[in-house]
Structure 1
């Protein structure tokens, strides 16, 4: 048994002839420009911090050497007062000279240092000063405890009242809450809660083709990100094949309608080393991975587009050859002659013969017909002819013809030529689908039409899909009358020529960032670079409504649940009524993109975080429909990334692009709290800031500060979910204030995970991919009794244990 395997490893915008793609390209360039500007800002901040540290190190090193050599301190309690050692306390904003009294401790400290688990006398320090950084930290009590743990770019140091972590060389001080008696004895465990994939929103149709099939089980099979979805079109249920570890780019169905082959793109491992692309063959009934197809034909996406045939029973490569340097769009075995393989792509149709492990190639001859720029697709007719669809809107019928001895000379062989040209669509023919009895379906790009043709290519019926869904990407036959249609705007439609088509699967068509869940209903809102703001229902797993705005980058629901605010890329933000979808309020703060919107717990204030380094505070009245400027938080030296309100609605904690943690007294007029120690016991209504004592353990060893895009604490305050830059979703115990905290890790996204958010009841977690345009809905399972996070910290600090290694699931 032979099965063809459409390559799918290509970028479709090379073949899109619609002018509608030019705004998309311009939008992509704007996004890239903004990302580059953000990176430049971070680089400037890191460079300035590095230069500051170098200058400080040069000034401090000789003096410390002199003091340490002339006045050594003993280790332990000796009963005598040791020689006083001046300590240098460093922060991001204030530096003190060694002549100042820098240790506020009431008692004279005894100084020691710990390296790799061993205690050393301070007199050993001079020999090590050239190898380690000098960071002095102070705390009350008899000893000045200085613990330094070297973790590459990520370093944490602990003293009596605070702990520091270092990102890109920048020290970040976090004060330990009063209820923790012994930080070193805190016990970190993976949470008892786990995640289970419940639903996948979206379909990848924008840049892939031939990726939608209908199974005898009543399920449509398609892919997005790293997940292959089997969606029952009548029962509206999903199953998922999840063995892929990177983005799936191609899919084919065996003639037995049970076995499926799916290919994933070549990616990189966690160290950046390239990985090989791979193909999985699996049973669509049991979702078990198999290798029971005799031969499988694959074309990779290398420069030579290697054509290979695999003996899957043996797991060996049967034959391989370079096909072409041009883009290849499809490959298929001839169903009537298993030694013949056809490929098509940019300006070519090749007819391959496989014999004794060797390929021979014949190129289709266009002759008197205009050679199209792209051959997009092909199928086999009942008579054995090959029908191709091209970028000129034609269906070409190819057949064998006898050798032209007069033209080609004696010994010329038979050729494959165009037997007939049929005008089909305005613009490209994106897909062809054969029906039982020999009828043919074609799908158009620019005209968005689906046309049914008789066996002799006479048009019989046609319909046009709505413009909002884009062009026809692929067609799957359900029962000869009903059809499934995949579109270029990432939707799957279901319908007939008589009744029209409705969407059964929808998704975003560009990178997503904004995510918010409703405070009391099972709905959530998303927005992104495709200028779409979408409201989804987590129970019915469907899109409730979608409207067009500018680039949406952040959002938040008002606590009363009647309106939602959306922050845009231009500094504008809008407030939408959930029922009418109308804009009830609109304002502009600066001219840079907004990164976070957050209502206070009682809904009386709205905080707007911007890339202009300010947080704008608004009074909210009339049930979220009226907004007046209350004040502005000015103090960050880089763009705002995250912020949270205190439970009493009086204070804000915020993070910025240069890794600052600042606290603000909003009730006192948006005043910056200089003494961050006073905020260590404050309780927060939400926890989305990626930097803070309670979430310090979510940062992995070697993190550079951009590895975590978002996090969200559950409403029960038991767990925290993390979205990282490596396509993973993590679930940690909350709080997790110690490095190397263990977690459960989940795969499924094929791009950086941009956001995560729990539903109002904590029954589900939503995660959102960036470039994969995928929303995953996870069911939260497990988790015994309710334990307050403060009790967990207090009880954990009384038991001594070492943190286990991170757990993955």
Structure 2
């Protein structure tokens, strides 16, 4: 088999047409004929060459067939037919064992050693051709996707068609110039993953304590939300005052010029601007916003508590997941694609033997109405990103823990293990969405479950205190216990793979590698002390090398087929223990760690970070005032600066405490960071160097906000105060002026007026208070109503009260951000959704555009300085998502 530029060629002799119309190969006297004239392999080549379009080449980058545009369009049809016609079954039909038995009959059993050697060679040859056909199929499918994308792009560029443009924005390249996230300095050590999420500091006791927002109660909440219904609003017949009959009980008083909304029974009064008093009505209709969002990039990776969740497709895309998004990342091209079919956390993934079909399992969740929804498994196409099947809704409990496609029968079956107390294992004909076998797997956690690669009726599972060998016979599953015999039984078997001979290979909690002979339930070989502690991942490379990844010792070790150590390397401590090991391109090893890094490593010791994310709850987000950068801070005690276009980490730095909030000085030279125990730091935005460190109180600092001219800094605290500081020397010198006292609960949001003379603040018990820069509360409605605000991040106010859903308990909206062009406002809700509303949003039941991706409460949103992108942060899912505004 010869290789072209992205397409495989087969040279198997001269074809001729048989009596039945099929393509028949004649033996070639050259060395290209498979099997050197072996009739079974010639028949295998017949199947391979019988499909149309196999000899079509592609250009060097795999973007499509060479030739003119018209020919390319016609070629894509034949490629689709070719892809559909290729099947792994054509390879699995070939049985070298039958061929060997036929030879023994002819030669009377003579030359047994030669026959066994030939058998092994034929098996290797068949496996190699099987793999090459799979790669060809995936490559053809990727060509089809690229052709379709090129055709769509060409149609959009044709005269007479229009595409949305934003004249105030610079044009952006669709392919970032950098493909990896590299830190300018060594990554910093976050909190240990098993320490859990740190709760927010609680406010000081107040009379209204029962009404305050308890944001720490949201850590495990994953809810879904649907678009607001367009039901008709009921209005009272008498004209004054107006009344809206939704569950928020919105009323309008024209005489006083205010709208009153009730949140958890508490009235929230919002004053109208003077120019709206005469014309405003609650019955006015509001259209959908003109802008839409498209997910462009996801920062982060879920390595902290998931296993075997990195895979490399033949197209060069690396597949992994974070939050409810499955990411397909082409490192070389610097592009991401996203499967968005899930509505809560993805927990496991499996790749079909065709290397195109993918199965992903999610955990249970809770709807917006508080109703639970069950886990399920979604099977989807990695080329089109279309969902093919959804199985198991109502069958699984808590979460889907393990997935595996059968290999020996071409991926006909899918095995699923859920995370219920009895860890039920079920076998599905996934194409028919039919569950035909089910059994209680184990009372203890199951860490790995796989179909045997060459025996279609054999399954192996392992976990805490058990190793089971399962057989599917007569519609039933029967199991044999793994026998440790003279070997010490470990507390847990943590990972599983298979060697070239079909032996099962496991890594245990004591750092040993155990080899289980094919067809038996006994240990045939042991590598004692392969690692200092638990082995969390095993991977068999294409050349037969076994790679093991240690947990606490962070070592990656390569073993040959005789289980002799060949090479090893140690992952630096800053990246964390190894969680997952997978084969990468060429000689690279992909490594996922418990600190949510994905690394590209070589066994020579080279380590290149590809993906980095936070490891604990994430609230702090702010965009640079003039550059295409954004800043994040998290409870993992790490603060980070990111580049929007290259998607790389510019710098990352550890801080003394869990970080909660941040804001850039208007000059962009420094960034202020508020922490959980009253400290706040000012960092140089270019170098990350510490400029100054201060303390205001002893509780969480929930919001930092510079005045528009940069001369003042307001800090909202969970002590119910707003601390005001004078700022000089471009944000490098601070002097406390006083504190605003008057809120009965902790401060949640702050905004300055355009002239820097006034502040507006929201609190945990739904108060809206106004202040001047001398810390004096402003009570006159005529003064308040016409103030123009430089930013709009407060979640309560006349201009944005329409974003609140019916029946809100006051915690449904976590953050809002008005675009700089004042056309739209983005909203982060408590159900994993990002909304875009038209601005101003000052009517009840305003419709919105809703976008999914986060699997927990969305904690913050921020527009880039030119409104070209929106950034959003997830709480418990620890991810940052970058949305293109279009």
Asked if these proteins are the same fold (TM beyond 0.5), I'd say: yes
Distance 1:228 1:439 in 2: 29
How do 1:546-561 and structure 2 match up within 5 A? 546-549=652-655, 550-561=657-668
Partner of 1:163 in structure 2? Answer: 259
Residues 698 and 732 of structure 1 are in contact (CA less than 8 Å); yes or no, is this contact kept in structure 2?
yes
Encode CA deviations 1:150-176: one digit per residue, 9 max, x unaligned.
333x22111111110000100011111
Match of 1:769 among 868, 871, 874: 874
Encode CA deviations 1:190-221: one digit per residue, 9 max, x unaligned.
10101110111011100001000011111111
Partner of 1:675 in structure 2? Answer: 780
Partner of 2:280 in structure 1? Answer: 183
Partner of 1:279 in structure 2? Answer: 377
Match of 1:244 among 342, 353, 359: 342
Residues 46 and 168 of structure 1 are in contact (CA less than 8 Å); yes or no, is this contact kept in structure 2?
no
Partner of 1:518 in structure 2? Answer: 624
Partner of 2:120 in structure 1? Answer: none
Partner of 1:508 in structure 2? Answer: 614
Encode CA deviations 1:708-732: one digit per residue, 9 max, x unaligned.
1101000011100000000000000
Query: Per the alignment, in what secondary structure is the counterpart of residue 373 of structure 2?
Result: coil
Match of 2:505 among 387, 395, 403: 387
Q: Does 1:31 align with 2:199?
A: yes
Distance 1:733 1:760 in 2: 19
Deviates more, 1:747-756 or 1:352-361: 352-361
Residues 700 and 717 of structure 2 are in contact (CA less than 8 Å); yes or no, is this contact kept in structure 1?
yes
Query: Per the alignment, in what secondary structure is the counterpart of residue 179 of structure 1?
Result: helix
Encode CA deviations 1:124-163: one digit per residue, 9 max, x unaligned.
xxxxxxxxxxxxxxxxxxx8x23333333x2211111111
Residues 427 and 446 of structure 1 are in contact (CA less than 8 Å); yes or no, is this contact kept in structure 2?
yes
Post-superposition offset of 1:369: 2.1
Distance 1:189 1:682 in 2: 26
Encode CA deviations 1:513-538: one digit per residue, 9 max, x unaligned.
00010000011110111111011110
Distance 2:554 2:204 in 1: 39
Distance 1:350 1:45 in 2: 52
Distance 2:540 2:752 in 1: 59
Q: 1:606 to 1:22 in 2, by over 3 A?
A: closer
Query: Per the alignment, in what secondary structure is the counterpart of residue 698 of structure 2?
Result: coil
Residues 565 and 573 of structure 1 are in contact (CA less than 8 Å); yes or no, is this contact kept in structure 2?
yes
Residues 435 and 480 of structure 1 are in contact (CA less than 8 Å); yes or no, is this contact kept in structure 2?
no
Query: Which ranges in structure 1 are unaligned for 5 or more consecutive residues?
Result: 4-19, 48-114, 121-142, 402-413, 782-809
Partner of 1:151 in structure 2? Answer: 246
Partner of 2:400 in structure 1? Answer: none
Match of 1:688 among 790, 793, 801: 793
Partner of 2:269 in structure 1? Answer: 173
Query: Per the alignment, in what secondary structure is the counterpart of residue 268 of structure 2?
Result: strand
Partner of 2:125 in structure 1? Answer: none
Distance 2:284 2:665 in 1: 37
Partner of 1:746 in structure 2? Answer: 851
Partner of 2:732 in structure 1? Answer: 625
Distance 1:38 1:205 in 2: 36
Residues 712 and 720 of structure 1 are in contact (CA less than 8 Å); yes or no, is this contact kept in structure 2?
yes
Query: Per the alignment, in what secondary structure is the counterpart of residue 601 of structure 1?
Result: coil
Q: 1:193 to 1:303 in 2, by over 3 A?
A: same
Distance 2:472 2:742 in 1: 70
Q: Does 1:207 align with 2:290?
A: no
Q: Does 1:332 align with 2:450?
A: yes
Distance 2:518 2:359 in 1: 30
Distance 1:621 1:718 in 2: 33
Distance 1:41 1:434 in 2: 63
Partner of 2:806 in structure 1? Answer: 701
Partner of 2:147 in structure 1? Answer: none
Deviates more, 1:610-619 or 1:574-583: 574-583
How do 1:460-499 and structure 2 match up within 5 A? 460-479=566-585, 481-498=587-604
Query: Per the alignment, in what secondary structure is the counterpart of residue 31 of structure 1?
Result: coil
Partner of 2:649 in structure 1? Answer: 543
Deviates more, 1:273-282 or 1:738-747: 273-282
Distance 1:21 1:548 in 2: 8
Query: Which ranges in structure 2 are unaligned for 5 or more consecutive residues?
Result: 1-87, 93-188, 214-232, 390-409
How do 1:374-453 and structure 2 match up within 5 A? 374-399=492-517, 415-417=521-523, 419-453=525-559
Post-superposition offset of 1:119: 2.9
Encode CA deviations 1:331-378: one digit per residue, 9 max, x unaligned.
110011010101111111111111122110111122222222221101
Distance 1:319 1:155 in 2: 53
Partner of 2:35 in structure 1? Answer: none
Query: Per the alignment, in what secondary structure is the counterpart of residue 243 of structure 2?
Result: strand
Post-superposition offset of 1:744: 0.3
Query: Per the alignment, in what secondary structure is the counterpart of residue 759 of structure 2?
Result: strand
Post-superposition offset of 1:484: 1.3
Q: 1:21 to 1:368 in 2, by over 3 A?
A: farther
Post-superposition offset of 1:46: 7.2
Match of 2:428 among 310, 313, 337: 310
Encode CA deviations 1:396-421: one digit per residue, 9 max, x unaligned.
111268xxxxxxxxxxxx74346434
Query: Per the alignment, in what secondary structure is the counterpart of residue 426 of structure 1?
Result: coil
Q: 1:156 to 1:365 in 2, by over 3 A?
A: same
Encode CA deviations 1:538-597: one digit per residue, 9 max, x unaligned.
011111111111211000000001100000001000000122211111110000000000
Distance 1:555 1:618 in 2: 15
Q: 1:45 to 1:242 in 2, by over 3 A?
A: closer
Post-superposition offset of 1:679: 1.0
Partner of 2:171 in structure 1? Answer: none
Match of 1:349 among 467, 473, 479: 467
Distance 1:41 1:552 in 2: 28
Q: 1:472 to 1:357 in 2, by over 3 A?
A: same
Distance 2:521 2:764 in 1: 63
Residues 347 and 374 of structure 1 are in contact (CA less than 8 Å); yes or no, is this contact kept in structure 2?
yes
Post-superposition offset of 1:705: 0.6
Distance 1:639 1:578 in 2: 29
Q: 1:663 to 1:479 in 2, by over 3 A?
A: closer
Q: Does 1:371 align with 2:459?
A: no
Residues 570 and 605 of structure 2 are in contact (CA less than 8 Å); yes or no, is this contact kept in structure 1?
no
Q: 1:734 to 1:39 in 2, by over 3 A?
A: farther
Post-superposition offset of 1:479: 3.9
Q: 1:736 to 1:582 in 2, by over 3 A?
A: same
Distance 1:686 1:400 in 2: 67
Q: Does 1:665 align with 2:772?
A: yes
Post-superposition offset of 1:426: 1.0
Distance 2:204 2:785 in 1: 30
Partner of 2:839 in structure 1? Answer: 734
Distance 1:506 1:192 in 2: 34
Q: Does 1:322 align with 2:440?
A: yes
Partner of 1:580 in structure 2? Answer: 687
Match of 1:570 among 663, 666, 677: 677
Query: Per the alignment, in what secondary structure is the counterpart of residue 508 of structure 1?
Result: coil
Partner of 2:148 in structure 1? Answer: none
Report the structure, 1 or 2, having the larger strand content: 1
Distance 1:541 1:45 in 2: 40
Query: Per the alignment, in what secondary structure is the counterpart of residue 510 of structure 1?
Result: coil
Distance 1:191 1:146 in 2: 29
